[in-house]
A and B are shown apart, each in its own frame.
Chain A
Amino acid sequence: MPKKYETPLLDELEKGPFPSFVTEIKKAAAKSDMAADELGQLEKSYRDKRGYWKHGGIVGVRGYGSGVIGRYSSLPDEFPNVANFHTVRINSIAGFFYTSKFLKEACDIWDKYGSGLTNLHGSTGDLVLLGTNTENLEPIFAEFSSRGWDLGGSGSAMRTPSCCVGPARCEWSNIDTLDITYSITQEWQDEMHRPAFPYKFKFKTAGCAVDCIASIARADCSIIGTWKGNIAVDQTEVANYAKNGMNIQEEIVNMCPSKCMSYDGKELKINDADCVRCMHCIAKMTKALKPTGEKGATILIGSKAPFVIGATLSWVIVPFMKMEPPYDEFKDLIRKMWEFWDEHGKNRERIGELIIRKGMREFLEYIGVEPQAQQVKEPRRDPFFFWTEADLQK
């Protein structure tokens, strides 16, 4: 029987309507010595208002440099079963689809070799197995990989790519987000499992500008589906929305950022040449409005959380790229970016930070992308700019 800790503070977090993580830890703690000590240590953190985990060390499975994050308790004598309590990242399925068969197998393996605690999912999108001892790592890897599952990324490597639900269950997707995610994951297994980059590199793929995967804020490379063509309007469905109480003038026309719509009470008109494809009208009137024409993606680079230079959103690099299997044009572009980063990046420098340090021009020239007005909000405002010898000859 695992040790039973008194947890008066954490017990307070079992009250209230929202499902409780404390209840989850307690369920695992009834069966697992590791989960029991996790619970005990967490209660102590709540009492002392501080964490008791140490930095990760180098730990992993044979042949891989990523997929496992070392975690050690700073109170190993008090909580010996979490003295080492590592995270294992399992590469999730594109779109986060699962079958009960897999989930049950995963639970059996994890109860046998780990704490029984998981995150579905971690922030990057891995299926996270939360806490196990060093000696269990190889067995866990053997059990999962023999069933066709692999580890995700960690450290200075390509991280597990993730995507929105896309064409699997959404009418707005302009690209096959699941297939792109699967394809780049398979293409770059070595880059995921053997860290060789200056720092982490994340991909997120969104089917449209609604961006349900937060790609523009959370991925070094954001792939956002878009189109070149008109929005087809079904006026009968427009009339139905009006009949059902939608104030089309107020809720749709007035909220259009490019002021490209008009409505006379009968007909909704769109000046497609002025549309910036923000998705508001389509999202609110999904039965009436459909993008038509060529589908593809905008490729943006550089978003990340605040360290070191402050948070960034991704910048438009390629305004439009066709995204069709095997995605060679996209993959070649990424390889060039990685080459640039490999050549110039400092240790722990994200690609976005490098672009700021070296200048966007140097980056664009290296990867072979022409300057385009879609890449900027506005041209530079100060009169300081570079001319190369080649520019002077033009």
Chain B
Amino acid sequence: MTLNTHTLLQKKKKTILELWMKNQLADEGLREDLISNEELRSQSEELITALVGNLSGDNFSNLESDEWSPVIEILGGIAITRARQGFSPRETGNFVFSLKDAILDVLQQEITNDPATLFVESQKVNKLMDSLSVVTFETFIKGREEVILRQTDEITEISTPVIRVWEGILALPIIGTLDSARTQIVMENLLQEIVETGSSIAILDISGVPAVDSLVAQHLIKTVSATRLMGAECIISGIRPEIAQTVVHLGIDLSNIITKATLASALAYSFKVMRLEVKKVTVTKL
């Protein structure tokens, strides 16, 4: 008796789906919190319909052929949504692997008296499902990478805010590494704000900069020079002891820049320059 696995699978689609659903629902890793049973069922049904619908006798091993593209598309879509929903790789992988189990179970039930054929057909199904799971993983990882890239973009987009701490005094806290692109943004924001507010003092706080090397120092010096050209004075604050030592060892000359250890002392200095005084009010008790 000659037997076509693909016609058999097409005929047994319903059974496979039931078996697959049973497998998935019985799995401990079922994430009912992320996906409802109905949704899981419709996903599974969609995939299996596309899968058996596109099966023919000779395309088992060739996943590159056009007939497979709808299946890969559906599988890719499922993998990407799962990556975004926060499924683990194992859970996503199990989705495909449990289908393989179901198909193999059906094959075993159908081909009872011919071990050789069973082996050959199982082998074929195995290969096919393995390449499908590879596709799933590739897409899953791509989905995750997209999430990471989006987060990277978001982090770089966190702009450096210019804060008006007092009439005529601006503060600019810099957090993270200062590279050329960042310095450009910082400088533009700062200079623009100086014009708009007519400030005469700008405080650059570098408490959040992890390391000051010669490039960062050069960027700082440039920013200070540009601020001075605008007629404002620039103070660099937030220099930690270890950074001070490193800067000295590197041989960077920051002596013609006003530097302070903390933002508070920079502010106090600014008040002094602007001849402002902060006083504690003595409250007379009634």
Same assembly: no
Binding site for A on B (CB under 8 A): none
List residues of chain A with CB under 8 Å of any chain B CB: none
